[in-house]
């Protein structure tokens, strides 16, 4: 167990590699109750939501959810989030545990500065536990518990229903692993029973409990950003390669800077790195080209699926093309790596 | 968890097997268990000299990098290259197949600083 944003969380149950491969081949269960939940509601909720997020909530319908960065005026990222759209007047932002207080504070600042009548911003983190069921067998596992055929919940849709006929839950077809799967939001008092029931239902399929270690290797193989690594207050979504989640067809905070970056390009860009030489890239390692520093690794691991050292890093933009060979300084020694397109892992 | 009686140990979680003036060095069962899946190992070259308490190599799990500390000073007479290709051996057989280096001991007096199995076991109990 390790302390994580005020929570005690398991790094691993049986071993990072076994857990990782269980999710890729069967399914795994994650206790991600640490995630923060912030509800925004009221008559001007849609205007507020559109103003704080870079993606466009009007492109989805009630019952759908959407990924988006949340930016400041300078384009720096406050957090990245999944927004659940209940209806035009009610939204739930799922945010990183370590950023919940920061996002709340940011939302309240925006509310104060701009005129948003009848807007309610509420921290609901305490009333939601979250369990993620991820992997190709997830639909078969959840089927016996759910009051609806899981086929009816399409990717990035959610369902407010009952588990085991009595436990109220929000079930979305979302995740952070690149596999099919569901994220279940429920009353913390019900969470242990649902965890047990899913472990039981998943037994014939080879379900395994999954810790933070494999959560990180799974997301990194997919090239999904993790706040504090690929995203931060000093990194913009354009630099991080998240341009498709930034919609200039609407107004939002940070638009001016991001539109300029999208048009003119950025000095640095996020790239995927795969080792050619032996070694594992790690956050903080220097990236070099012909002996001069051109960037820094922000995430790195040994990929259990690819059995190779992989990582992400920011490099000066002329070096971002796939195929570019670079050096990563590992304990003072230059080890050869190549820029590769994301995701690293494809089925 | 196993701590063979015929081995000596360090507080940095290495084990040492002394035969004449040659010490075979590896990491303990406790160390491999704490690291988790070992996926990479870096060892010195044959002929390199190692110094007590100084790093002589590196092991990496999926999540983290850890230094390997020399339990004794001396020169490296043999390196187990097999574990460089199969680092998982460190998890599977830390006291057997996954020995790391053999060192020709330069200062026999350093041997008295090593812990026996009981002392090491007591040390990790306290560390937990």
Q: Which residues of A touch B42 (CB under 8 A)?
A: 331
CA distance B15 to B25: 6
Is residue A120 helix, strand or coil?
A: strand
**pLDDT tens digits for A226-273?**
999 999 999 999 999 999 999 999 999 999 999 999 999 999 999 999
Residues 6+ apart with CB under 8 A from A13: A19, A208, A209, A210, A211
Beta strands at A208-209 and A28-31: parallel, antiparallel or unpaired: parallel
Q: Which residues of B touch A12 (CB under 8 A)?
A: 36
Residues of A engaging B, defined by a Cβ cutoff of 8 Å:
11-12, 15-17, 213, 216-217, 278-280, 282, 301-302, 304, 309, 331
Residue among B36, B40, B58 minimizing CB distance to A16 = B36
The Cα-based distances of A65 to A72, A146, A328 in angstroms read: 22, 19, 38
Residues 6+ apart with CB under 8 A from B65: A280, A282, B58, B59
- Beta-carbon separation of B40 and A11 below 8 A: no
What average pLDDT does chain A have? 97
Residue among A279, A301, A331 minimizing CB distance to B62 = A301
pLDDT at A1: 72
CA distance A280 to B58: 12
CA distance B39 to A303: 10
What is the DSSP track for A148-171?
S-GGGS-TTBEEEEEETTTEEEEE
The Cα-based distances of A15 to A134, B90, B102 in angstroms read: 17, 14, 30
Instruction: Kindly provide the ipTM of the predicted complex, given to two decimals.
Output: 0.88
Kindly report the backbone phi and psi dihedral angles of residue A15, in degrees, each rounded to the nearest multiple of 5, phi listed first. Answer: 155, 140
CA-nearest of A32, A80, A113 to A235 is A80
User: Hey, what are A160's tokens?
Assistant: 């407010």
CA distance A310 to A272: 8
Q: Where are the domains of chain A?
A: 2-33+128-220, 36-124, 267-342
Residue among B37, B58, B62 minimizing CB distance to A331 = B58
Distance from CA of B89 to the nearest CA of A (A): 14
**pLDDT tens digits for A157-170?**
999 999 999 999 99
Residue among A15, A216, A331 minimizing CB distance to B36 = A15
- Beta-carbon separation of A331 and B36 below 8 A: no
CA distance A344 to A178: 11
- Can you tell me which residue has the tokens 């998240």? A242
Whole-model pTM? 0.94
Beta strands at A181-186 and A167-172: parallel, antiparallel or unpaired: antiparallel
Q: A249 burial class (0-12, 13-18, 19+ CB within 10 angstroms)?
A: exposed
Q: What is the mean pLDDT of residues A30-57?
A: 97
Q: Which residues of A touch B62 (CB under 8 A)?
A: 16-17, 213, 217, 301-302, 304
- Beta-carbon separation of B62 and A282 below 8 A: no
Number of other CB atoms surrounding residue A197 within 10 Å: 17
CA max distance for chain A: 63
Residue among A11, A216, A282 minimizing CB distance to B65 = A282
Does B33 contact A at CB distance below 8 Å? Answer: no
Would you say residue A4 has pLDDT above 80? no
**pLDDT tens digits for A123-175?**
999 999 999 999 999 999 999 999 999 999 999 999 999 999 999 999 999 99
Beta strands at B49-50 and B74-79: parallel, antiparallel or unpaired: antiparallel
Residues 6+ apart with CB under 8 A from B122: none
Is residue B96 helix, strand or coil?
A: coil
CATH topology for the A36-124 domain: Alpha-Beta Plaits (3.30.70)
Residue among A17, A278, A331 minimizing CB distance to B62 = A17
CA-nearest of B24, B128, B25, B123 to B68 is B25
Chain A: residue nearest B42 by CA?
A279
pLDDT at A345: 98
Kindly report the backbone phi and psi dihedral angles of residue A139, in degrees, each rounded to the nearest multiple of 5, phi listed first. Answer: -60, -40
Q: How many CB pairs under 8 A join A and B?
A: 35
Q: Which residues of A touch B61 (CB under 8 A)?
A: 16
Q: What is the mean pLDDT of residues A305-310?
A: 97
**pLDDT tens digits for B52-92?**
999 999 999 998 999 999 999 999 999 999 999 999 999 99
**pLDDT tens digits for B95-122?**
999 999 999 999 999 999 999 999 999 9
Candidates B33, B37, B65: best to mutate against A (most CBs of A within 10 A) is B37
CA distance A9 to A16: 14
pLDDT at A347: 85
CATH class for the domain made up of A2-33+128-220: alpha beta
Chain B: residue nearest A304 by CA?
B62
* CATH number belonging to the domain at B8-119, selected among 2.40.50.100, 3.60.21.70, 1.10.1200.10, 2.40.400.10: 2.40.50.100
CA distance A234 to B83: 41
pLDDT at A186: 98
Q: Do domains A2-33+128-220 and A267-342 have the same CATH topology?
A: no
Kindly report the backbone phi and psi dihedral angles of residue B29, in degrees, each rounded to the nearest multiple of 5, phi listed first. Answer: -55, -40
pLDDT at A2: 76
CA max distance for chain B: 38
Chain B: residue nearest A302 by CA?
B62
Residues 6+ apart with CB under 8 A from B81: B43
Chain A: residue nearest B35 by CA?
A15
pLDDT band at A3 (very low <50, low <70, confident <90, very high): confident
Instruction: Give the residues across from B42 on adjacent strands.
Output: B58
CATH 2.40.30.110 fits A267-342, yes or no: yes
Q: Which residues of B touch A333 (CB under 8 A)?
A: none
Q: Which residues of B touch A280 (CB under 8 A)?
A: 39-40, 60, 65
Residue among A15, A16, A302 minimizing CB distance to B40 = A302
Would you say residue A6 has pLDDT above 90? no
Distance from CA of B16 to the nearest CA of A (A): 26
């Amino acid at each position: 167990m390790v302390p994580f944003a005020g929570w005690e969380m398991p790094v691993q149950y049986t071993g990072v590699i076994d857990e990782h491969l269980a999710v890729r081949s069967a399914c795994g269960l994650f206790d991600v109750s640490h995630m923060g939940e912030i509800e925004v509601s009221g008559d001007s909720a849609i205007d507020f939501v559109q103003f704080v997020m870079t993606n466009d909530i009007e492109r989805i319908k009630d019952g759908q959810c959407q990924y988006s960065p949340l930016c400041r005026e300078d384009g720096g990222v406050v957090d990245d989030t999944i927004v659940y759209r209940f209806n035009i007047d009610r939204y739930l932002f799922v945010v990183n545990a370590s950023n919940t207080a920061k996002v709340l504070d940011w939302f309240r600042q925006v509310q104060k500065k701009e005129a948003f009548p009848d807007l309610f911003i509420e921290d609901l983190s305490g009333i939601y536990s979250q369990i993620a069921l991820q992997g190709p067998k997830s639909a078969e596992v959840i089927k016996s518990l759910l009051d609806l055929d899981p086929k009816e919940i399409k990717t990035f849709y959610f369902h407010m229903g009952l588990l085991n006929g009595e436990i109220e839950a929000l079930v979305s077809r979302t995740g952070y692993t690149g596999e099919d799967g569901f994220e279940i939001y429920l009353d913390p008092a019900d969470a242990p029973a649902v965890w047990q029931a899913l472990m039981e239902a998943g037994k014939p399929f080879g379900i395994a409990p999954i810790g933070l270690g494999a959560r990180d290797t799974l997301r990194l193989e997919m090239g999904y950003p993790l706040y504090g690594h690929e995203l931060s207050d000093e990194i913009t979504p354009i630099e991080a390669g998240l341009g498709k989640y930034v919609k200039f067809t609407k107004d939002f905070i940070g638009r001016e800077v991001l539109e300029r970056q999208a048009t003119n390009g950025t000095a640095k860009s996020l790239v995927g790195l795969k080792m050619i030489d032996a070694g594992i890239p790690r956050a903080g390692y220097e990236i070099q080209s012909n002996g001069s520093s051109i960037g820094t690794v922000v995430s790195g691991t040994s990929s259990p699926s690819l059995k190779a050292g992989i990582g992400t890093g920011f490099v000066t933009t002329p070096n971002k093309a796939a195929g570019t060979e670079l050096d990563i300084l590992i304990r003072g020694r230059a080890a050869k790596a190549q820029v590769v397109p994301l995701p690293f892992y494809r089925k | 968890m196993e701590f063979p009686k015929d081995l000596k140990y360090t507080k940095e979680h290495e084990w040492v097997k002394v035969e004449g003036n040659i010490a075979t060095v590896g990491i303990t069962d406790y160390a491999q268990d704490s690291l988790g899946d070992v996926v990479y190992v870096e060892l010195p070259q044959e002929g390199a000299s190692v110094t007590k308490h100084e790093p002589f190599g590196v092991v990496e799990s999926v999540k983290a990098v850890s230094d390997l500390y020399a339990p004794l000073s001396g020169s490296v007479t043999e390196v187990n290259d097999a574990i460089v290709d199969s680092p998982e051996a460190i998890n599977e057989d830390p006291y057997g197949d996954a020995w790391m280096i053999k060192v020709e001991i330069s200062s026999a007096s350093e041997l008295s600083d090593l812990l026996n199995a009981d002392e090491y076991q007591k040390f990790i109990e306290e560390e937990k």
